[in-house]
Amino acid sequence: MSSEPDKRVLQKFIQEFRDRGGGLHDLAWLINAGVTHARLTNRQARRLRSSFYRHILVLWLVDLIIATVVDHFLPQGLPAWAWLIEILTMCVATVLAYLMLGLVRQEDGLQLYKNFPVPNTLTLFRLFLTPMVAAVIADPTSEGKNAWLVFTLLATAAISDTLDGNIARIFHLRSDFGRAWDPAVDVIFHSVIAIALFVRNIVPWWFMLIVLLRYLLPMLVGPFVYLFRASFKVKSTWPGKLSTLMLSCFMGMFFIAVLFHWQGLRSFTLNWFLWLVVGVDAFALIYFVFRGTVVIRSKGEEAG
């Protein structure tokens, strides 16, 4: 099935949204029109839809098995809020992914994939892991005998983050779905982990604030800029990649230090390296604001 009409329909919807005035009522119309179109598209992509169901089923089973293992090793088990958020995350992500199956198209943008790509499955897997990682970090034993559990979950998430992009590039499985979901999942994962680190009093409040601003500001501002002012492609930047790498290294170094009782590494991570992470995150945030301003101005000049 050709997906080129889908791209034209999306552009038509957004243009009509802008012509209507771009108010809250018009935004509700846009969401309803988009969901309706997505449901019609998914009905026609039967093979892709069936493949998606199989992948999601496997993801649910794997995730529930991991949650059961984590629940077994934690002294008090996974708290009720963690189970609730875990199930809610899986349900919401499954529904949203289903509605966005129209974005699972080949790199040339002309044809939908017949099967749900493995890289996209790995991206969803990382999202499903997020509540469990946060719950284990927030547990008091995360800085003691269960540090290995935190490190294992963080390493699993990091491996999935590395594999999804590389597999997509090597086997030519890149899609608009992955371009949208991969950065969104990174935002959710690192924001939640930053909050969990603060709750456990591992990092100060201003560290959490900088991380949240770095990840949440682009995610919250980007869609409004796209709808109200300028259309642009979602793509990663080198400051964004570097800040994500630094934050991952920070978490890995800290829990390795805890796991092997390396006080020197722990002190270095919570002092010198913490400031380095903050500096890189602040630079990535400034870079986003600068690039966003350039995009808005350039589109404004084109419109004028």
Predicted confidence (pLDDT) per residue in 15-35, tens digit: 777 777 777 777 787 777 777
**Is residue 299 scored above 90 in pLDDT?**
no
Of 32-36, 108-112, 160-164, give the range with the top mean pLDDT: 160-164
Q: Which of 158-167, 234-243, 283-292 has the lowest mean pLDDT?
A: 234-243
Distance CA 136, CA 148 (A): 10
| pLDDT value for 109 | 60
- Hey, where are the domains in the chain? 1-116, 140-304
* Distance between CA atoms of residues 129 and 75, nearest Å: 20
Q: Is the pLDDT of residue 53 over 90?
A: yes
**What percent of the chain has pLDDT above 70?**
87
The sign of the dihedral angle between the CA atoms of 147, 247, 191, 159 is negative
Mean pLDDT over 279-285 rounds to: 93
Render pLDDT for 267-277 as a digit per residue (tens, 0 to 9): 999 999 999 99
Average pLDDT over the chain reads 85
Residue 225: what pLDDT? 65
Asked if residues 189 and 131 have their Cβ atoms less than 8 Å apart, the reply is no
Q: Is the pLDDT of residue 253 over 60?
A: yes
Q: How confident is the model at residue 226 (pLDDT cuts 50, 70, 90)?
A: low
pLDDT of residue 99: 86
CB-based contact 66:132 (threshold 8 Å): yes
Distance from first CA to last CA of the chain, Å, rounded?
A: 38
Q: Identify the pLDDT of residue 1.
A: 39
Per-residue pLDDT reduced to its tens digit, 176-208: 888 889 988 999 999 999 999 999 999 999 999
Name, of 53-67, 129-143, 209-223, the range with top average pLDDT: 53-67
pLDDT at 301 over 60: no
Q: Is residue 3's pLDDT more than 50?
A: no
User: For the packed helices 80-99 and 46-73, what is the interaxial angle rounded to 10 degrees?
Assistant: 170
